[in-house]
Amino acid sequence: MTIPTAAMLTIGDEILSGRTRDANMPLLALALGEKGISLREARVVPDVAEEIVAAVNALRARYDHVFTSGGIGPTHDDITADCIAAAFGVGIDVREDARAILATNYANPAVDLNAARLRMARIPDGATLIDNPVSKAPGFTIGNVHVMAGVPAVFEAMVAGLLPKLTGGQPLLSGTVQVLRGEGIIAGPLGEIAREHPEVSIGCYPFNRGGVFGANLVARSVDAAALADALAALESLKVSVGG
C-alpha cells in the first residue's frame, strides 16, 4: 500500500517575522500521521503574490496533497485565494453558495456583509468548499490543494472536517525508548540497529536535563511487527552499550 504524500504551505509575514509561532504545521503533521498521509515538506512564504503562486505550483506538482494556511480573511493582505486561482490559471469571483454560508455569520447580512467581508466568498472556479464551523468563511479545495485559514482554531476545525474525506494510507506508528546516556556513546550500536531495520525510520533526539545526558530514540513505521522488533532492539541500548 502506498502512503500518500503531502506538503504544507504557510502564508504570512507574521510567521517569517518571528512575531507569531506557527501552531498549524505541527497540528496538521500529527493529524496527517494518524490518517496515514506523510508530510514530506513544509514551507513558509511571505504575503507576496509571486512567491505564493510559485510555491503552490512547485508543491502541487510534487506531492499528492498541498495544505495551505493563512491569507483568506477580508483584509488587504489576504491574497491567498487570488494566488491559488492564478496558480491554477482559473478565474475567481464571489460564489453564491459561499456568500450564503458567510451571510449566516451576520445579524444583518445586507449591511454587515460589506465589500471587505464579501472577499471571503471569492472562490476560484472549480473549487469545492471546506466547511468552517467556527466563523463560517469557508476554505476550499481545488485539484490537490486544500486552502485553509491561518487562525489556529479555524485551521484545526477545517482539518478535522477535511481529512475524513481524503484517502489515507496505513497510519504511521511510532514508539519511543528513552536512554539516559549521551548520544555519542550509543551512536555506534544505534546506527547498526537502524541499518538492520530498513523499514523503520529511527531518529535520535538528545537532551540534557539538569546535567543528565540522554536521548529519545523514536522509531516510526507503518509495519507494526517491524516496529516492535526495532523497539526491542532499541531497549537493549539501555543496558548493553559499548564505549
43, amino acid identity? R
Query: Of 29 and 129, which CB lies nearer to its own copies in the complex structure?
Result: 29
Which residues have CB under 8 Å from 56's CB, separation 6+? 9, 66, 68, 83, 84, 87, 145
Element (H, E) at 196: helix 183-196
223 contacts its own copies (rule: CB under 8 A): no
Binder of its own copies out of 3, 41, 92, 168 (CB under 8 A)? 41
76 contacts its own copies (rule: CB under 8 A): yes
Region of 40-48, 88-96, 122-130, 232-240 interacting with its own copies (CB under 8 A): 40-48
Least distance from its own copies to the Cβ atom of residue 14, Å: 6
Query: Of 17 and 89, which CB lies nearer to its own copies in the complex structure?
Result: 17
Least distance from its own copies to the Cβ atom of residue 125, Å: 24
110 in Cβ contact with 186 (< 8 Å): no
Stretch 103-132 residues interacting with its own copies (CB under 8 A): 111-112, 114-117, 119-120
205 contacts its own copies (rule: CB under 8 A): yes
Least distance from its own copies to the Cβ atom of residue 126, Å: 26
Least distance from its own copies to the Cβ atom of residue 26, Å: 4
Q: Which stretches of the chain are assigned E, i.e. beta strand?
A: 5-11, 38-45, 65-69, 92-94, 122-124, 128-130, 139-142, 145-148, 173-179, 201-209, 212-221
* DSSP of 157-185: HHHHHHGGGSPP-SPPEEEEEEE-S-HHH
* DSSP of 144-158: TEEEE-SSHHHHHHH
57 in Cβ contact with 66 (< 8 Å): no
Residues at the interface with its own copies (CB under 8 A): 12-22, 25-30, 32-33, 39-47, 51, 73-77, 111-112, 114-117, 119-120, 135, 151, 172, 174, 183-188, 190-191, 194-195, 201-206, 208, 218, 220, 243
